[in-house]
Amino acid sequence: MFRITTLYRATVLIAALLCASFAYSHVPYIEDKDYPEGSDFVITDVDQSKAFYAYLDEDDVDGFEIVLEEPGRIYVNSLIPFCREYANYDVNLALIGPGLDAPEAELPVELAEGQGAIVLPARADDWAERPYMYEMFSNRRYFDGPRYTLRDAPAATYRLIAWHTDGTPGDYIAIVGRAESFGPSDMKLAFINTPIIRRMDEMKSSCESEGNFAAWFDP
């Protein structure tokens, strides 16, 4: 009886802690586990915050199809794992859609007629000035990447792409949406993926992340 009660209490405690972290988090998706590599993930609940834990292979371009059924807003952001090997690594994002201005920067994909793009370039040139943050959900730190909100976006299908200018491979997280809400299937996905992400098992790099940030580059 003692063992059963103790196990039950421990389970309830863990569930409560996870639920508390969900209140400040995104619905987590892991590439190759929750969606296939090489094809666009289709997003229909655009306002719900989702985090896509992914990896760019050499010369890779990842895509996310955003279906806005009614006029609204589209929020996008990127994070890079807080790792020594990623101190000078970042990814570019571009939100592609109808009626947007023609991009000044070169894109790794062709635009259809009538489409434009908002480009959020990588910004990791000076690691000492690079912002980073702590996320309760994963109990990890991340370099904070560029973010953008397209307000009053007309109903249409948009596409978010992520790539590295030099084709350098690496881990990254793409975020779409700002509303932190969880349905039953989202809760199930979060319960499964949270331990994986907290152990950094979704990553393909070894990730040296502990210790003093500046000490990484001390002689």
pLDDT of residue 163: 96
The fold of 2-207 is: Jelly Rolls (2.60.120)
β-strand 50-56 against 27-30: which pairing, if any? parallel
Distance CA 180, CA 122 (A): 26
Residuewise pLDDT in 10s, the chain (219 residues): 445 455 444 444 444 444 444 444 789 999 999 998 778 999 999 999 999 999 999 989 999 999 999 999 999 999 999 988 888 899 999 999 999 999 999 999 999 999 999 999 998 666 667 888 898 888 999 999 989 999 999 999 999 999 998 889 999 999 999 988 888 899 999 999 999 999 999 999 888 765 556 566 554
**What are the boundaries of each domain within the chain?**
2-207
At residue 176, what are phi and psi to the nearest 5 degrees? -130, 130
DSSP characters for 70-120? SSEEEEEEEEEE--GGGTT---EEEEEEETPPPPSS--SSPPPTTEEEEEE
pLDDT of residue 106: 93
Distance CA 211, CA 82 (A): 11
Please choose, from the candidates 172, 171, 168, 164, the residue with its C-alpha nearest in 3D space to the C-alpha of residue 205.
171
SS3 content of the chain, % helix, strand, coil (to 5): 20, 35, 40
Stated pTM of the model: 0.85
Going by the DSSP 8-state scheme, the letter that residue 127 receives in this structure is G
